[in-house]
Structure 1
Amino acid sequence: MREVAKSVLVKNVRTKKIQNTLRRMKEALHAEEDGAAIAAPQIGESLRIFIVSKKITKTKDLVFINPEIIKTSK
C-alpha cells in the first residue's frame, strides 16, 4: 500500500469488475468480527475505494469511491 491507487470512473462503478471488488471487500470486512473498515488495496485491488462497516455506522455499510480530503483541522 505504498503506491497511489487508481481512481474509479463513474461509468465503471456498475461494471462486473467493480461490483465484484465491492463484494469481495464486504466479504473480507464482515469475515472479521472486529472489522471496522477496509480499503480496496487490502484485497489486492489498487483502486480508490473503501468501505466503513455497518457495525460502525449503525445503519448500513458506507462505500466511498474516489474520496478526497478537502479540509483538515489545525
Structure 2
Amino acid sequence: MQTLHVALDNRSYPIHIGSNLLNQAELILTHLKRKNVAIVTNTTVAPLYLEKLSSTLRNAGVTVIEIVLPDGEAYKN
C-alpha cells in the first residue's frame, strides 16, 4: 500500500492506494470522530464498491447511511 498525504492546514488527510483496501476498516476508522457515516456515491460507482465498503464499516461497529445519486454533472453540486 502507498499513502499520499494531502496537506491542507487543519484539514489534512491521507489517500491510501493499494489492493483490497475496502477490507481494511481500520484505515477509515482512525479518521472518524464518531461511529456514524454517510457514504455518498452515484449509480455508476455504487454497484462496484458500496456493498463492500458498507459491510466492512458495519462489521466494525459503524452506523452507515447509503446515499446513491444519479450519475452526471447535474448531480455534482
Fold-level similarity (TM above 0.5): no
User: Higher strand fraction: Structure 1 or Structure 2?
Assistant: 2
Higher gyration radius (CA): 2
TM-score by length of 1: 0.30
